[in-house]
Structure 1
């Protein structure tokens, strides 16, 4: 697909530019696979390429531009396995060489959509293969194209969840399916048993249908590790992932149910990032201590012997390390664990040694990287890692980390979509620190236009992140992207107030029961700091924007004194009334946020309810909400818009019929960006010419 080249990161260039997945190396560390998704605004068509990267030269070659190919995985050396969408809703399994599709052959067909392809070498002759896909109630693959269509639209439930994220629950459940590949000279064949449902009869579902808690699974010669929600737990009261082990040796036998739940005394919270060591003899995972408390710091656990999966050792404690690890990767010799964790606005790479003895004193993970944000880590050798990372001005970099020297060498940067092509550069981004609501400082990023001049004054976009337990990172985003808005003539300020991750556990915990308290005052202090210290920012021309919890905060600000300092507000998928959030798809987290249920602690729910302060709403507001958003239901956006309209406050409402909590469709995303920048320009004037498109044309 032809890429229209431009030196300016326009809205159209941002939406249509290719997006690159993380790079996955082969076993000998010579090649890596990644995908490149493209979109043409002229033909309104999507494209997808699978590409092969030479890790020594950095040269990329095309493996496939068939948009139906997906989920490619290495077997060994240059041989690969991949899935392809077939006719009639089936999934084809193909095998070939990474140098191209020549000599490729169809191995088998799966009767239904399958994805998340995994492979694991068991011996020189056998490979384990696994995919995920929906299972019918009888345990067979579910194919929505051939399934009998219902004759009525009724749905009936006797327990939660009724709906998750952007869809209603059905009788079909996600499952893991496994089989074995047998090698005969240079060709492979699928075992005659076909794909086996690993979760049949267990009541488990994987992946979890909520993308924020989807979890992961991993393969070894010892079986399958996975995270899943315990079906015996009432999800109205508790929502968390448990860790399970399914012993499988040949990957041709049926699993021996039930799957074994791995329990740790005094640790009842969610488990994430389960990984086998390269030889499968040990494993590692993250686990939260307190049940239902997803704000808590995950601890690192080592499963010393996968023949005895309950033999675990805790490698970090909250006393020894105060950050929240997010992912784990074993070193190639299984003697080191590499982990990612947010640290002061960056997702850094750390390492910790795997202890040789069961008795172990908790150690402090040591940092390896210091800039940008790591999204993927793979061990190539004992001294070399392949990482994928990005920053606020770089969309994708593949790099090698030399552990012997501590250096990071760039292998490939996304030249069609980064500072090597557009005008953006790291010099646009800086950190500021300012006093918070208590005896602590708060960090924020400042992103300036690439054409920035200190002699000019720029209008302010004041962004508030969601979560609330989350953070703005030095990381590229295909949704809310500060560099794109900076290129529209604004200075974008990204504060990390109370509740933000990467600044210690106490900073995270302080937001519990205080949604509109400390975080709000931190934001007030941030605005005052920008007004006083950043002379190039015109705070008399300022817009506040936020989504999810950030949208809650926009609604909260609308009824507080800070609203008077903004010319306009943008609320995306925000929360208007806290009691109404009982219609959300995931309500158990509300008990944690407000110190109990609505009927147990009504005063806390009332205290931080934005709807109780609507008498003071008078700042123009753009409200954006999508019909498939079941996390923050669309009635929240309609209520906020209704209040603005009834009070005569200038307001607009933008809705997407086919989007959920995130606006993901490229054409929808372009409309979102045009509407938001148009609203900001109306009140603050970024000063960038964007053609004749009218921001006021909100009706399709």
Structure 2
């Protein structure tokens, strides 16, 4: 039995001060704690926004893994992507985000953690805004590395600051996928580049030749894949010989499928990249055609572990673990094929005998172990339980299995987060439409079960998604609860982490099973918790949750709430065809828009019979750069509500996408959302510190007579 210790920077909670939107948004945001080779210290980054200066600051720190003591390494805001070098306990490599000689470029620097300021030096000047640094130190001492940037078709890296402005702003497209998420697709694309640093004069490292584009020589390849792809889309082998990367299937239309492959290529680009699990590859598992992700090399550089979905048109299909053997036989092994969970990330242990998986499970992101020789019926075992593991690393010392302690808790060191406590949340199950449904319950600071608090009913997006035991600066349970609510966040049909059956049952059932689950959940809360006031409750949801709030508005459950909040939800059934990812709607509604129109219209919040029921005050938020759910749907619903005489407000951010991430915009978002529900629930009258719409910090446009 092997044992391993894992390091994570936690935000375990405990104290008693209400959490405000300002405190949430301006609290320090810490990155992963990356241990050095000996496992004695770890690096982590911190950034923080100030509403006083309206600017952000950032810095890097070291944390002692045994004592938890921290010390600042540097507050140079140009330092990014710090990483340890090979077996050196203090050697560091990082990207300097500016370039002294090339506008828009970056630099690679070397430093020593024991004397960072005086030891650092520039090792390479890169002519574009490269990021995603991944190094490997070879036996000879060379530093092989991978980075990525936008690329022209000829393989040259794209640098926006060196490009002249075109005379025309026209865009011309000959294929669908003209725009995706929040951007119109350009003629450039993401590409992985390889490079080598060698020791030269004064035993300092310098770039040995130009970077090599590993992606551009095959038409239609792109890695990392936008909009969410990053360095997890590629990996470098520990011996520096190989690179592996993910790309969408180049031979298929991008908007209609999720198919992607893992490519293997020599680090020096001496051979063309090869799809190890493509349709023509000898080891490709039969019938497995969906999205591939998270390629990671084994410690001996002889294998690649990766994740892949089976269905070619289902973005929430279950991921299965595969291991590819590099060499002449090119075999692919399938691990724990029957396991009813979908891993998100994957890493090897140092001995190469076991994989560790971060996997959503029962409302948590747990870590599981999986032997590399596991059979189909093997069930991985978890060694973390509460909370959600967002990053994990193996340490060389392994005193015992599992989490042995907490090194740093945000609520203990950040004054603005002292209102967080593990006592503020709980969970329960109730009988839904066809199975038991899980729900979280979150209490306000100073909660007293002998008192009564309005219900805040939280509805998650996806629709294949879930509410989890996790921390977020968007839709943070505690910020809403601390206005004076008890938050109930159910995981109805369509939710992930509870098995394929619950997730998949929402297909072509957007308004049936999940709506019934929410109705039954509301009834359970009403009949079970004396401290929850459902008569003055409110409901809110985003994305699919926004659709569901729109659906609730036109159905009987809508009359149970004093106010509703819908963020980026669909309204007119036929408008779904204007989305970017057609595979999504064609999967969830069982076919194309023209051949299966009845499916699209079956759950149509804009149908007259639903509009005639509209009566509950409603706040709508829809941003202009949300191309997955275009802003026209939000405007259409606002028009209907206004013409029907239903109290309503429309909040728009022209510079945001499906999410609101700019700190100043986020503050306005919270002020409007919380002010809206507080006005109608009565919380504003009971809690003098609650957010009020009277405190609006941007002008309100109202031309009504």
Question: Which whole-Å CA distance do the structure 1 matches of 2:440 and 2:223 have between them?
Answer: 37
Partner of 1:235: 254
1:517 aligns with 2:512: yes
**Structure with more of its chain in strand, by fraction:** 1
1:85 to 89, 93, 97: 97
For the 8 Å contact 2:195–2:208, the answer to whether it is kept is no
Partner of 2:4: none
Question: Which whole-Å CA distance do the structure 1 matches of 2:229 and 2:499 have between them?
Answer: 21
Question: Which whole-Å CA distance do the structure 1 matches of 2:140 and 2:680 have between them?
Answer: 66
Partner of 2:277: 262
Partner of 2:30: 20
Partner of 2:614: 617
Question: Which whole-Å CA distance do the structure 2 matches of 1:28 and 1:609 have between them?
Answer: 58
Corresponding residue SS for 2:110: strand
Deviation at 1:361, TM superposition (A): 5.2
**Cα gap change, 1:674 to 1:550, in 2 (>3 Å):** same
Which moved further from structure 2: 256-265 or 686-695? 686-695
Partner of 2:327: 307
Partner of 1:681: 678
Partner of 2:567: 572
Deviation at 1:415, TM superposition (A): 4.3
Question: Which whole-Å CA distance do the structure 2 matches of 1:693 and 1:610 have between them?
Answer: 27
Corresponding residue SS for 1:349: strand
Deviation at 1:617, TM superposition (A): 1.2
Corresponding residue SS for 2:622: strand
Question: Which whole-Å CA distance do the structure 2 matches of 1:245 and 1:300 have between them?
Answer: 17
Which moved further from structure 2: 681-690 or 283-292? 681-690
Partner of 1:283: 304
Question: Which whole-Å CA distance do the structure 2 matches of 1:270 and 1:405 have between them?
Answer: 32
Question: Which whole-Å CA distance do the structure 2 matches of 1:457 and 1:525 have between them?
Answer: 21
Partner of 2:427: 431
For the 8 Å contact 1:33–1:52, the answer to whether it is kept is yes
For the 8 Å contact 1:455–1:536, the answer to whether it is kept is yes
* 1:404-553 correspondence runs (5 A): 404-415=400-411, 422-438=418-434, 440-553=435-548
1:51 aligns with 2:51: no
Partner of 2:699: 699
Q: Deviations over 1:602-632 (max 9, x none)?
A: 1111111211122221111100011111111
Q: Deviations over 1:249-304 (max 9, x none)?
A: xxxx334124334232221111111111122111211111121122321111122x
**Cα gap change, 1:158 to 1:213, in 2 (>3 Å):** farther
**Cα gap change, 1:670 to 1:617, in 2 (>3 Å):** same
Question: Which whole-Å CA distance do the structure 2 matches of 1:309 and 1:147 have between them?
Answer: 46
* 1:90-489 correspondence runs (5 A): 90-99=105-114, 100-183=116-199, 187-203=203-219, 204-211=221-228, 216-220=233-237, 221=239, 222-248=241-267, 253-263=268-278, 264=284, 265-303=286-324, 305-308=325-328, 310-318=330-338, 321-355=339-373, 360=375, 362-381=377-396, 384=398, 404-415=400-411, 422-438=418-434, 440-489=435-484
Deviation at 1:407, TM superposition (A): 4.2
**Cα gap change, 1:461 to 1:77, in 2 (>3 Å):** same
1:68 to 65, 74, 78: 78
For the 8 Å contact 1:328–1:338, the answer to whether it is kept is yes
For the 8 Å contact 1:202–1:259, the answer to whether it is kept is no
Structure-1-length-normalised TM-score: 0.92
Question: Which whole-Å CA distance do the structure 1 matches of 2:359 and 2:502 have between them?
Answer: 15
**Cα gap change, 1:419 to 1:537, in 2 (>3 Å):** farther
**Cα gap change, 1:421 to 1:599, in 2 (>3 Å):** closer
**Cα gap change, 1:325 to 1:605, in 2 (>3 Å):** same
RMSD over aligned Cα atoms: 2.1
Question: Which whole-Å CA distance do the structure 1 matches of 2:668 and 2:650 have between them?
Answer: 13
Question: Which whole-Å CA distance do the structure 1 matches of 2:570 and 2:415 have between them?
Answer: 36
Deviation at 1:371, TM superposition (A): 0.7
**Cα gap change, 1:485 to 1:570, in 2 (>3 Å):** same
Corresponding residue SS for 1:437: coil
Question: Which whole-Å CA distance do the structure 1 matches of 2:537 and 2:231 have between them?
Answer: 37
Corresponding residue SS for 1:638: helix
Which moved further from structure 2: 366-375 or 406-415? 406-415
For the 8 Å contact 1:239–1:292, the answer to whether it is kept is yes
Question: Which whole-Å CA distance do the structure 2 matches of 1:419 and 1:696 have between them?
Answer: 26
**Cα gap change, 1:587 to 1:419, in 2 (>3 Å):** farther
2:668 to 651, 671, 690: 671
Deviation at 1:7, TM superposition (A): 4.2
**Cα gap change, 1:691 to 1:375, in 2 (>3 Å):** closer
For the 8 Å contact 1:540–1:565, the answer to whether it is kept is yes
**Cα gap change, 1:690 to 1:522, in 2 (>3 Å):** closer
> Structure 1: where are the runs of 5+ without partners?
385-401
Deviation at 1:307, TM superposition (A): 2.3
For the 8 Å contact 1:133–1:141, the answer to whether it is kept is yes
For the 8 Å contact 2:565–2:620, the answer to whether it is kept is yes
Question: Which whole-Å CA distance do the structure 1 matches of 2:329 and 2:444 have between them?
Answer: 53
For the 8 Å contact 2:356–2:367, the answer to whether it is kept is yes
Q: Deviations over 1:392-432 (max 9, x none)?
A: xxxxxxxxxx5x34343112222467699513211110101
> Structure 2: where are the runs of 5+ without partners?
1-14, 279-283, 701-705
**Cα gap change, 1:67 to 1:685, in 2 (>3 Å):** farther
Question: Which whole-Å CA distance do the structure 1 matches of 2:513 and 2:522 have between them?
Answer: 14
For the 8 Å contact 1:262–1:309, the answer to whether it is kept is no
Question: Which whole-Å CA distance do the structure 2 matches of 1:412 and 1:545 have between them?
Answer: 33
**Cα gap change, 1:471 to 1:14, in 2 (>3 Å):** same
Deviation at 1:68, TM superposition (A): 2.2
Deviation at 1:331, TM superposition (A): 0.5
Deviation at 1:137, TM superposition (A): 2.9
Question: Number of residues paired by the alignment?
Answer: 666
For the 8 Å contact 2:678–2:690, the answer to whether it is kept is no
Which moved further from structure 2: 78-87 or 663-672? 78-87
Corresponding residue SS for 1:637: helix
Q: Deviations over 1:524-557 (max 9, x none)?
A: 0110011111111111111110000000101111
For the 8 Å contact 1:278–1:334, the answer to whether it is kept is yes
For the 8 Å contact 2:17–2:420, the answer to whether it is kept is no
Question: Which whole-Å CA distance do the structure 2 matches of 1:146 and 1:213 have between them?
Answer: 24
